[in-house]
Structure 1
Amino acid sequence: MKISFETPDQPEVISLIADLDAYQLTLYPPESVYALDMASLKQPNVLFAVARSPEGAAVGCGAIVVTPEFGEVKRMFVSPAARGQGVARRLLGALETEAQERGVSRFMLETGPYQPEALALYERLGYARRGPYADYPDDPLSVFMEKRVA
């Protein structure tokens, strides 16, 4: 498995993001899905990583939006065939490492209550539940989490 920082506007990655959107819409109504669009993912303050199989196929992706206050984890997704192999853990680790090199010491994220695997992963990696942050509403279909690093 190779993880690298790439642009999100590649056909394989666009397909992964479309799969993520479709999956989230089976769990939550559209007004409770706080996804970044492609234009937002291409901004200079966004770190975007892609996990590729040994054959080079894109099997996962994730982003961190770097702000002066924190880094926000967004668009984490691993294709169903690649799950259970530590891809999400490695993706998030690579993103956090790069964000820390850019001065980020506090990470935030919003996910949903119907994604127990994601919640368990984030908790294992040191994220703790908290209240809403930034411009997010207090949505009962949102779980907000935070992680601080030295």
Structure 2
Amino acid sequence: MTPATALAIREGELDDPAVIALLRVHAEGMLAASPPGSCHFLDLSGLKQPEVRFFSAWIGDRLAGIGALKRLDAGHGELKSMRVAEAFLGQGVGRAMLEHLIATARAMGMTQLSLETGSTAPFAPALAMYAAHGFEPCGAFGDYRDGDPFSRFLTRAI
């Protein structure tokens, strides 16, 4: 990304065909890296629930990434559906989306953010990014259960 190709993060856009296609890529990627019972991504209807805020990141008219924030309770939120489009990997889109979601959670009065992600090799870049932003390992939260070797749980105060 250069200053001339500024990233614009917008709320919504769940009906945009590019967003739907990237959500499909996200689901396929999760299912390719972990068994179905260990995949916890939200489908389109799950992302439209009132407790979820969905964001899309754009460079010009090209979709660069997606991310969502789910309210678990008054002070606790969960990061969901973080994905960067293949053409924009390594360009800071994931970091920008993560920082946007953290700022949004703070503005909503949350004091803690947690997430569940995979444990296999394809998830290493995401795990490194989350660690660089202060997320630390934790136990299962919400409706998740400990003991799944394909899941990693992380949390941080915000």
Total equivalences in the alignment:
148
- Between stretches 109-118 and 95-104, larger displacement belongs to 95-104
TM value normalised by structure 2? 0.89
Moved more, 115-124 or 58-67: 58-67
The aligned residue for residue 125 of structure 2 is 117
Q: Tell me which residue corresponds to 2:150.
A: 141
Q: Where do 4+ consecutive residues of structure 1 move more than 4 Å?
A: none
Following TM superposition, by how much is the alpha carbon of 1:81 offset from its aligned partner in structure 2, in angstroms?
1.3
| 1:62 corresponding residue in structure 2 | 67
Give the letter aligned to residue 69 of structure 2: I
- Partner residue of 1:15? 21
For the 8 Å contact 1:64–1:73, the answer to whether it is kept is: yes
Q: Shift of residue 108 of structure 1?
A: 0.5
Decide whether aligned partners of structure 1 residues 7 and 43 sit closer, same or farther in structure 2, where only a CA change above 3 A counts.
Answer: farther
- The answer to whether the 8 A contact 1:48-1:95 is kept is no
Alpha-carbon RMSD across the aligned residues, in angstroms, is 1.1
Shifted more, 101-110 versus 7-16: the winner is 7-16
TM-score norm. by structure 1 comes to 0.94
Structure 2 unpaired stretches of 5+: 1-6
Deviation at 1:89, TM superposition (A): 0.7
C-alpha contact 2:116 2:151 (8 A) present in aligned 1: yes
Aligned residue type for 2:136: A
